[in-house]
Chains A and B, each alone.
Chain A
């Protein structure tokens, strides 16, 4: 193989030495592409070059010993470059493998954290959750008894990427263990706090709400989470559902207060993570009023379409830049009187 390469190189170089045309340079460059593909190292190329020159100038004095020595020097010089190149190739391959592994992990995460939107008369639900990187550090948890209660939790691990994503199964397992939609939001939060607090340096902001179809009340509790929005259909106004709870995982014995609001027909509760409010629009954050304007604009869509529409609007506003943070948006809408 090396002999074949040497022969071709000698021919191409010989042609160029005779006629310095663009065509001959082009042919040479095409040939170099093949050498790169075949993993011929830079030092080998110089050695081939030297041999070719020796052949081309055979019998003449033009290819001097000085030139030969200079090429030997260059060969020595290029060995480190050859090593760097090979290392670079290996690192690229490693990265491909890691990307692939991450892809698999993201799929496992999806399967593990799978949660289905409960169906219940009188309330419709829609949501979207988009990770900034491969794995999502935001999480939506649903539970419902199909008769009276629906529970919705939205959690956001401080940090993003793989560590954040790994942490999420803790939240799911905690809520699964509590396992009943009728559970009081503040109690659920207290239990989760104890679980999260046991792990070092892991903090989660979370909003948990429970809707009671019979009484039309939405009871909620927040642990350092982005305030949810309540849209009042009657007057078209938005109210922030504030709650001053501490992040989960900061202190062991925290009791988070819960509050309730009464929902009327067409009212919506919108729960989100800071990926929504902290999305960048021309070097500044998205403003609350801009967000409520967007929601108002799409308010007549069904919740799922509303959630997707808001995401697309935000994508557009941030000019399709990569998301700075995982972004989650949940819409609950009271449909009946």
Chain B
């Protein structure tokens, strides 16, 4: 299984993470719309790191579970963490603040979504999309 990562320090690193994700998604065999969805999810997560954590990384890997292929993305930072996960996972919260699709959007674009966060330590978001 291939695995690669991009450090997110500047806004242009977001672009690099997107590029890496799109290439990987294309290679696995995702269609154009799913490629765009996966890329958007990566973009949102990388932007969160860039805007709120200053520093972090996006890991992208191809996974295979009993023959079903998929793409797994892990966004990891050592930022301030999220105090109220339920609030940021609420529909309408992010959009109403003018921040775009936010984490609920990311969850909807993907098949699996998991978040771990500790205040003052950082946040890890893991997302997966399966190829059908």
Interface, chain A (partner B; CB < 8 A): 43-44, 47, 50, 72, 75-76, 79-80, 83-84, 86-87, 90-91, 94
Chain A residues, CB < 8 A from B39? 76
Q: A47-B31, A87-B91, A87-B92 are in contact. Are A80 and B101 (CB under 8 A)?
A: yes
Cα distance, A87 to B33, chains bound together (Å)? 19
B95 at the interface (CB under 8 A from A): yes
Q: Which residue of B lies closest to A51 (CB)?
A: B32
Contact B37 A80 (CB under 8 A): no
Cα distance, A121 to B33, chains bound together (Å)? 79
Chain B residues, CB < 8 A from A91? 91-92
Closest 10 CB pairs between A and B?
A: A83-B101, A83-B105, A47-B33, A79-B40, A76-B36, A90-B91, A87-B91, A75-B36, A43-B33, A91-B92
What is the 8 Å Cβ interface bit string for chain B, positions 76-97, against chain A (1 contact, 0 not)?
Answer: 0000000000000001100100
Cα distance, A90 to B109, chains bound together (Å)? 15
Chain B residues, CB < 8 A from A87? 91-92, 95, 101, 104-105
Cα distance, A47 to B30, chains bound together (Å)? 13
Contact A86 B92 (CB under 8 A): no
Cα distance, A80 to B108, chains bound together (Å)? 11
Query: Within B1-52, which residues are at the interface with A (CB < 8 Å)?
Result: 31-33, 36-37, 39-40
Name the distance in Å between A88's Cβ and chain B's nearest Cβ.
9
Out of A47, A80, A86, A94, which one reaches B100, CB within 8 Å? A80
Contact A80 B40 (CB under 8 A): yes
Apart from A47-B31, A83-B101, 17 more pairs, CB < 8 Å: A43-B33, A43-B36, A43-B37, A47-B33, A75-B32, A75-B33, A75-B36, A76-B36, A79-B40, A79-B109, A80-B101, A80-B105, A83-B105, A84-B95, A84-B101, A87-B104, A91-B91
Q: Which residue of A lies closest to B106 (CB)?
A: A83
Contact A94 B91 (CB under 8 A): yes
Cα distance, A43 to B38, chains bound together (Å)? 13
Name the distance in Å between B86's Cβ and chain A's nearest Cβ.
14
Main SS at interface, chain A: helix
Name the distance in Å between A93's Cβ and chain B's nearest Cβ.
10
Name the distance in Å between A31's Cβ and chain B's nearest Cβ.
19
Name the distance in Å between B131's Cβ and chain A's nearest Cβ.
15
10 residue pairs of the A-B complex, CB under 8 angstroms, read A50-B32, A75-B32, A76-B40, A79-B37, A80-B101, A83-B108, A84-B101, A87-B101, A90-B91, A91-B92
Contact B36 A79 (CB under 8 A): yes
Q: Which of A50, A79, A80, A86 has the most CB of B within 10 A?
A: A79
Contact B92 A47 (CB under 8 A): no
Q: A86-B108, A87-B104 are in contact. Are A44 and B95 (CB under 8 A)?
A: no
Chain B residues, CB < 8 A from A72? 32, 36
Name the distance in Å between A70's Cβ and chain B's nearest Cβ.
13
Chain A residues, CB < 8 A from B37? 43, 79
Name the distance in Å between A5's Cβ and chain B's nearest Cβ.
13
Cα distance, A330 to B100, chains bound together (Å)? 53
Chain B residues, CB < 8 A from A50? 32
What is the 8 Å Cβ interface bit string for chain B, positions 50-90, against chain A (1 contact, 0 not)?
Answer: 00000000000000000000000000000000000000000
Chain B residues, CB < 8 A from A44? 33
Chain A residues, CB < 8 A from B36? 43, 72, 75-76, 79
Cα distance, A273 to B114, chains bound together (Å)? 53
Name the distance in Å between B31's Cβ and chain A's nearest Cβ.
7
Q: Which residue of A lies closest to B32 (CB)?
A: A47
Cα distance, A87 to B94, chains bound together (Å)? 11
Cα distance, A29 to B39, chains bound together (Å)? 31
Cα distance, A43 to B104, chains bound together (Å)? 18
Chain B residues, CB < 8 A from A47? 31-33
Cα distance, A83 to B39, chains bound together (Å)? 14
Q: Which residue of A lies closest to B41 (CB)?
A: A79
Cα distance, A43 to B40, chains bound together (Å)? 12
Cα distance, A47 to B101, chains bound together (Å)? 21
Name the distance in Å between A49's Cβ and chain B's nearest Cβ.
11
Name the distance in Å between A25's Cβ and chain B's nearest Cβ.
25
Cα distance, A75 to B33, chains bound together (Å)? 7
Chain B residues, CB < 8 A from A94? 91
